[in-house]
Amino acid sequence: MSDVLEFADVTLVRSGNRLLDGINWRVSEGERWVILGPNGAGKTTLLQIAATNMHPTSGYVSVLGEVLGGVDVFELRPRIGLTSAALAERIRGSEWVLDVVRTAAYGVLGTWRESYEDLDDSRALGLLVRLGIAHLAGRTFGTLSEGERKRTQIARAMMSDPELLLLDEPTAGLDLGGRETLVAALSEIAADPVSPTTVLVTHHVEEIPAGITHAMLLRSGRVVASGPIGQTLTPDNLAACFGVSLDISHQNGRWSARASARNGG
Ligand SMILES: Nc1ncnc2c1ncn2[C@@H]1O[C@H](COP(=O)(O)OP(=O)(O)O)[C@@H](O)[C@H]1O
Ligand SMILES: [Mg+2]
């Protein structure tokens, strides 16, 4: 299988700080990755490089077979779907949900000037159905709950039929019902063989959808552990990543973690 992402000794320095430090990482076609790590670990920075929005200070990065630095990123970006808090903030509250999704076909936010093909309409609607929010197509983005907004953003990220889907904390800030609905939708996407290669960022193991195949644990810009998820999410690796002893369990494809008695509790 071909590499969708390849990072070799990638370092990113900002204001004298090493946000990423010597990252080596390979993602092959069809894999579904979770990036786990505490706040400030460098997860968003890593995803921004994969999205071609940031360039490393040193090291080698290839995305979808193209070497970063040697390729026109504007040709690469339509092949990548991204959701992030920063992108969400740019969506106007007055925008129709269907428009939020279908304007992604043009790689723009906002509805001005484009004329839409019927094909785009049906694809956008199909994605809303897939994310369980078809009934919201005629609502404006500003009237949605946080969970509905997250699902709208994921539909938008998938609109251009990307080869790589990057989701930065898609379940952050949701209540339990919202989280579970979204994790279920993400599990369905992960299980579907036609879905793009996916990298999802979170700092809670409870938010890992079933169907995730690989994990990378990140702390202070460095890889603590990386590989097939079953071998990577071990108590020792999680302790090294989050700085507390954790017991971890895995049931029906989902993970949970809690402080272990070893912490002296
Ligand atoms: N432009 C910048 N200059 C200096 N430090 C930054 C800059 N952007 C982010 N950081 C710092 O880099 C670290 C990693 O940030 P980030 O990738 O957002 O972490 P995460 O997504 O894992 O919470 C944080 O400590 C953050 O404060
Ligand atoms: Mg982040």
Best residue among 15, 19, 84, 204 to mutate for probing ligand 1, ranked by most atoms within 8 Å of CB:
19
pLDDT tens-digit map of 199-239? 999 989 999 999 999 999 999 999 999 999 999 999 999 99
Ligand 1 atom showing the smallest separation from residue 169 Cα: 21
Ligand number nearest to the C-alpha of 23: 1
**What are the pLDDT digits (tens) for 133-161?**
999 999 999 999 999 999 999 999 999 89
Ligand 1 centroid – CA 19 distance (Å)? 6
43 C-alpha to ligand 2 centroid (Å): 5
pLDDT attached to residue 115: 58
**Residue 113: pLDDT band with limits 50, 70, 90:** very low
What is the pLDDT, as a whole number, of residue 38? 95
Confidence of residue 1 (pLDDT cuts 50, 70, 90): low
What is the per-residue pLDDT for 74? 87
pTM confidence score: 0.93
CA of 39 to the centre of ligand 1 (A): 9
50 in Cβ contact with 63 (< 8 Å): yes
CB burial of 29-63 (b: ≥16 within 10 Å; e: otherwise) equals: eebbbbbbbeeebbbbbbbbbbbbbbebeebebbb
Domains of the chain, start order: 3-263 (3.40.50.300)
Confidence of residue 118 (pLDDT cuts 50, 70, 90): confident
Which residue, chain included where needed, has tokens 């302790």? 239
CA triple 221-59-205, angle to 5 deg = 30
The CA 200 to ligand 1 mean position distance, Å, reads 17
Give the model's confidence band at 119: pLDDT under 50 very low, under 70 low, under 90 confident, else very high: confident
